[in-house]
Structure 1
Amino acid sequence: MIARLNDALRSKRSDLENDQKGFTLVELLVVVLIIGILAAIAIPFFLNQRQGAWESQVKSDIANAVIAAETHAVSANGSFEALDDTALTDNGYKATPGVVLTIDSASATQYTFTVEHDLYDTRHWTYDSETGVTDFTDD
């Protein structure tokens, strides 16, 4: 009886030693290939998302600057002549880090802004209060 138990245990051990589990080289190469394809698709998508975020920051800053400029005009009897960076800041405009807003012109009845993002080298946005339109140009 003990001999039969020893034989059974011996056969189980030999089955475990021969039944090794793991991945083959081909399976590992297929996984690496799939990960590479996914990365090739995801990286450009991620970069486009970053540019879209930069554009959103610029558009948000333009909208906030317009509100601050109009608020300034209300307190200046409807005139934009004294519009400058300090007037915008005093009326609630706070620039997003990396966004640079420049007041190109300010007259009694209209003003224009040029806005750039530090990380978006090729595109500049211009807002004209007379038309209310934001245009962009690529360098």
Structure 2
Amino acid sequence: MVDLFKEKLSDAEQTVAFGGRLSSACSEATCIYLHGDLGAGKTTLTRGFIQGLGHQGNVKSPTYTLVEPYELADWNVYHFDLYRLGDPEELEFMGIRDYFSDNSHCLVEWPERGEGVLPLADIDLTLRYDGEQRIIALQANTEIGKQVLQKL
């Protein structure tokens, strides 16, 4: 089984395409933590993930709402952006545990801001710049995560 996966992405189009590949590899409910500096491509990748599951509309960053839900034919996808989260306890008040279900994929930007409240990620995904390109690295933390990386 694969525990670590790395790839270079030359531009935003490849980042979106990789998000689509990633969503296709997720056959079970999956929790993915997204790491990277501001502007590294976390929301761009999420757009590809959600569109890869059939969403036709806009995919926006939930910077001010904390979570943006997408109800699709086969899955619910929840895109979290915890950058503006003041205290992890705020997640308890919004019913965070209800989002992590058997028919949902959860993608969490800035997960360190929710430490102690969020469940374990199946995959830790990191995007970082390498000149004009990006390097994406995925680390599997669970059997579900290992199965996803194997499919990639």
Q: What is the TM-score with the length of structure 1 in the denominator? A: 0.24
Normalized per residue, the structure richer in strand is 2
Normalized per residue, the structure richer in helix is 1
Relative contact order higher in (CA < 8 Å, ≥ 6 apart): 2
Q: What is the TM-score with the length of structure 2 in the denominator? A: 0.23
